[in-house]
């Protein structure tokens, strides 16, 4: 990382960098409810005072997938207060914005909109908390983007191949290629990197003169065999990676010795978990870029609530605590009170020079009571600090190391001792609980047509994303698919034969799915058991499978069927005549059976007619049974650096007069196939 002598000249980009703001976290808490909004205002205030060219956010602007009205209102207030004004924007966009923002009905950067006065543009990707979901694949960021308050980029709708097209920026003689990739389930993205299905497009002209900046929102630390993204997966031509999702602040750029690029991990701007990584001082970054040189200036956040944390191991103090002493519990409680008082004194001293810091700190004391000790009442202990601590109910956390007894009849020896604090234990996922339930359930309640993984992901959507129709849509989707299969097989309308064919099809699909999983994964992927977080099941409809980055083929197809969608705006971004003719095609929607209709009744109502025309109609509307999410080609695609031509758009008129070269949502071969991407790029290589 090189230093820049003149940081305010006409060739220097000034970029404010922050990630994981989590607006709305604990918004109903009487003490901590406004922490995220106050800190967000401080971040934007730093951007305004430093006169930055733009703000770059690394995901998780919102804590909830469906933020409350209070959260959205507070966010709009801040964006309007700090980001709108008459100060001119000093850089220009050179790339084709119809490609960069192809999913938006306003495919251009907000400061070039003649109806808006934007002084500080914001570019952001989505995180795993505010990712697109629901039938229309929308998120809270899309609402702000449609209103012209920020620029949402880095969306990827394909589960077969990801082409990351950069936003090309130029200020004076400095050129930046801004790459972004929103949150995708780590297991899925890991496999796509292994199979060479992720490609970063590069500018065609003077590729070595660009400063390549990549913002990503994934696990950086290893949480499992494939539940993270290794840095060596990223291309070595990148200059700086801004890594979101990890909350520990490591904002100083650290060089990867193998790939030679730098990685900056800004961390979160609010404490969302009482863990050691959150106790690190919170910062944002002011990045200066001139040519190929950069400099990162750390800016400490003053409005963040302080967090002090300490660990106690009772067994390390045999002189103070004896488990056989009947009054040892009172002694432990008195010792913990001394530790808490000491942390409160340290917090008060740290607050003396910063009046903007919240008065009540966050305190966490983890007590290891292994060795025969008993915990005292945490509730009674917390009553003493109700007016002095922001988290009185969470001050004390008891945990102990558990010894696993060896079973005499067992063939496996897992070791004598497994040391694992309760607070750092493995978190059960909804999908795993559903799968475990059906594996241990009686035979009469086992799933027949549906699969455990599909049902698990539907329940996960229902719980985490508040998609109330998730399970119903799953059942409808699988019922439709089974009906089409039976019609294609020309099964006689006898209940016994229909049930037999349906069960045979379900069993065949399950075994076929297992083979595909094994074939498309390496040894490390197989060791993890290919849990359902990374991939959607065949039983999961496309409208539900987005969740945490899942694909949404049906939703995209639905948007493509609108003849006025994308490109017919009054701003001159119309589609070409050929594209207009293509987009004018409409498809007959597949009828959805009634909720209470059995397979037998549904089959009778859709029994094929003997005419040839009817047969042809059925063949056009059948979803291929092999179009499962697991059917990702495992043939590695070449990692040749593809070239993306640059198209100047220095003025609003020039940008808006570009021919729309976005995405073709009308594809005959992908009709009604929710698991294949319908996004076919027409951009020039």
Contacts made by residues 41-44, CB under 8 angstroms, sequence distance 24+? 41/78, 41/81, 41/82, 41/303, 42/301, 42/302, 42/303, 42/356, 43/16, 43/18, 43/269, 43/284, 43/301, 44/78, 44/79, 44/81, 44/82, 44/83, 44/120
Give the separation between CA 419 and CA 551, rounded to whole angstroms: 39
Name 13's bridge partners.
Answer: 289
Is 129 among the residues known to form the active site?
yes
Q: Which helix (H) or strand (E) holds 286?
A: strand 283-290
Report DSSP letters for 71-83, one per residue. Answer: HHHHHHHHHHHHH
Q: Where are the beta strands (DSSP E) in 201-282?
A: 202-203, 211-217, 240-244, 250-255, 262-265
Structure tokens belonging to residue 11: 């060739």
Give the separation between CA 196 and CA 387, rounded to whole angstroms: 56
Give the separation between CA 655 and CA 668, rounded to whole angstroms: 31
Closest-CA residue to 102 (of 620, 648, 567, 630): 567
Give φ, ψ of 206 to 5 degrees: 50, 60
Give the separation between CA 383 and CA 361, rounded to whole angstroms: 16
Q: Which helix (H) or strand (E) holds 368?
A: strand 362-368
Give the separation between CA 257 and CA 237, rounded to whole angstroms: 13
Which residue of the set 22, 129, 245, 283 is catalytic? 129
- Three-state secondary-structure class, residue 122: strand
Decide: 160 and 581 in contact? Cβ < 8 Å.
no
- Three-state secondary-structure class, residue 619: helix
Residues classed as catalytic: 129
């Amino acid at each position: 990382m090189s230093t820049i002598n003149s940081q305010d000249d006409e060739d220097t980009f000034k970029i404010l960098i922050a990630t994981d703001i989590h607006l709305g976290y604990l918004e109903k808490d009487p003490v901590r409810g406004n922490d995220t909004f106050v800190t967000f205002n401080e971040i934007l205030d730093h951007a305004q005072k430093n006169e930055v060219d733009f703000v770059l956010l690394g995901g998780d602007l919102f804590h909830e997938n469906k933020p409350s009205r209070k959260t959205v209102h507070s966010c709009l207030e801040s964006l309007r207060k700090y980001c709108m004004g008459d100060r001119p924007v000093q850089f220009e966009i050179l790339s084709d914005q119809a490609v960069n923002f192809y999913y938006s009905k306003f495919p251009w950067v907000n400061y070039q909109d003649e109806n808006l006065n934007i002084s500080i543009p914001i570019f952001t990707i989505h995180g795993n908390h505010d990712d697109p979901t629901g039938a229309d694949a929308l998120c809270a960021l899309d609402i702000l983007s449609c209103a012209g308050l920020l620029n949402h980029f880095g969306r990827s709708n394909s589960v077969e191949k990801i082409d990351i097209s950069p936003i090309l920026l130029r200020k004076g003689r400095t050129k930046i290629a801004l790459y972004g990739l929103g949150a995708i389930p780590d297991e899925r993205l890991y496999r796509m990197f292994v199979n060479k299905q992720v490609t970063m497009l590069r500018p065609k002209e003077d590729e070595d003169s660009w400063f390549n900046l990549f913002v990503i929102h994934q696990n950086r630390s290893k949480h499992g065999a494939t539940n993270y993204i290794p840095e060596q997966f990223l291309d070595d031509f990148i200059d700086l990676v801004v890594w979101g999702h990890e909350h520990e602040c490591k904002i100083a750029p650290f060089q990867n010795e193998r790939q030679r690029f730098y990685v900056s991990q800004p961390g979160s701007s609010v404490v969302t978990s009482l863990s050691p990584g959150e106790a690190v001082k919170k910062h944002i970054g002011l990045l200066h870029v001139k040519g190929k040189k950069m400099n990162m200036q750390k800016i400490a956040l003053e409005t963040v609530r302080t967090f002090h944390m300490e660990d106690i191991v009772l067994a390390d103090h045999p002189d103070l605590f004896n488990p056989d002493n009947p009054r040892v519990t009172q002694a432990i409680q008195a010792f913990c009170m001394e530790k808490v008082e000491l942390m409160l004194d340290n917090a008060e001293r740290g607050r003396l020079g910063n009046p903007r810091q919240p008065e009540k700190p966050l305190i966490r004391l983890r007590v290891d009571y292994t060795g025969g000790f008993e915990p005292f009442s945490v509730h009674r202990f917390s009553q003493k600090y109700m007016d002095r601590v922001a988290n009185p109910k969470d001050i004390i956390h008891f945990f102990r190391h558990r010894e696993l007894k060896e079973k005499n009849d067992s063939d496996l020896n897992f070791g004598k001792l497994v040391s694992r604090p309760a607070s750092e234990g493995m978190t059960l996922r909804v999908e795993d609980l559903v799968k475990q339930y059906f594996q241990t359930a009686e035979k009469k309640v086992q799933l027949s047509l549906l699969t455990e993984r599909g049902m698990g992901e539907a329940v996960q959507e229902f719980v985490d994303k508040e998609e109330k129709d998730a399970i119903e849509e799953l059942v409808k989707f699988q019922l439709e698919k089974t009906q089409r299969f039976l019609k294609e097989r020309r099964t006689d309308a006898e209940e016994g034969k229909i049930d037999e064919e349906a069960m045979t099809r379900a069993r065949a699909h399950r075994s076929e799915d297992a083979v595909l999983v094994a074939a498309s994964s390496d040894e490390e992927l197989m060791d993890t058991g290919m849990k359902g977080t990374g991939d959607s099941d065949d039983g999961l409809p496309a409208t539900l499978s987005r969740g945490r980055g899942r694909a949404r083929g049906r939703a995209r197809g639905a948007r493509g069927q609108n003849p006025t969608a994308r490109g017919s705006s009054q701003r001159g971004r119309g589609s070409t005549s050929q594209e207009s003719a293509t987009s004018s095609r409409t498809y007959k929607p597949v009828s959805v059976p009634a909720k209470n209709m059995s397979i037998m009744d549904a089959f009778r109502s859709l029994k094929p007619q003997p005419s040839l025309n009817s047969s042809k109609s059925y063949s056009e509307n059948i979803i291929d049974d092999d179009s499962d999410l697991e059917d990702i080609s495992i043939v590695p695609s070449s990692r040749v650096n593809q070239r993306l031509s640059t198209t100047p758009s220095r003025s609003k008129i020039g940008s808006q007069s570009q021919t729309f070269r976005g995405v073709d949502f009308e594809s005959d071969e992908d009709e009604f196939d929710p698991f294949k991407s319908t996004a076919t790029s027409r951009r020039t290589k």
